[in-house]
Amino acid sequence: MSVMQYGDDSFAAKAKVLDNNLIDRDWAMTKFVAAVKGLAQVVDYESNMLESNGVPDYEEINLCKIRGLRDLNKSISDVKRYMNEDIENEVENLLAGLQRKLHRNSELLQTHLDAVNDLSQVMQVVARTKETEER
């Protein structure tokens, strides 16, 4: 075996490992990005329904959120293995965008909950008034 052949084999082996690591890293990031986007889509749907006074299917939304959080947790475990500054920045940006959507969604849900509570109180007053009038 000549020096040149030895060097070529070594380079090829290193290149193969590097290629596999890049493929694995890219696949981990693809799964992570898909999980974040999936959660963001569910949150946007719920927020848009609340803003337009629609009637969201909370059972389906909650199931989607549960699946999305499960996928996010699994994918972040994979991404951690390949964490470097570039990936960290991309992860932070994606999570910051999701956090903004969640904050907006939380405010809308709180407004909706407040309206439901107000309506409940009005219905209680009406029921008490009707009960008093019937006596």
Query: For residue 5, is pLDDT > 90?
Result: no
Amino acid at the residue 99: Q
pLDDT (0 to 100) of residue 22: 83
Query: For residue 26, is pLDDT > 50?
Result: yes
Rounded CA gap, 40 and 93, in Å?
13
pLDDT (0 to 100) of residue 17: 52
Reported as a pLDDT band with limits 50, 70 and 90, residue 6 is very low
pLDDT (0 to 100) of residue 45: 97
pLDDT (0 to 100) of residue 3: 43
Q: How many helices (H) and strands (E) does the chain have?
A: 3, 0
Rounded CA gap, 110 and 115, in Å?
9
Amino acid at the residue 95: L
pLDDT (0 to 100) of residue 4: 44
DSSP string, 15-64: HHHHHHHHHHHHHHHHHHHHHHHHHHHHHHHHHHHHHTT----HHHHHHH
Rounded CA gap, 8 and 20, in Å?
18
Query: For residue 107, is pLDDT > 90?
Result: yes
In the predicted model, what is the mean pLDDT of the chain? 87
Averaged pLDDT for residues 58-83: 95
pLDDT (0 to 100) of residue 43: 98
Answer whether 39's CB lies under 8 Å from 97's CB: no
pLDDT (0 to 100) of residue 14: 55
Q: Give 2 or 58, the one with higher predicted confidence.
A: 58
Q: How far is CA 85 from CA 29, 31, 44, 99, in A?
A: 14, 19, 29, 20
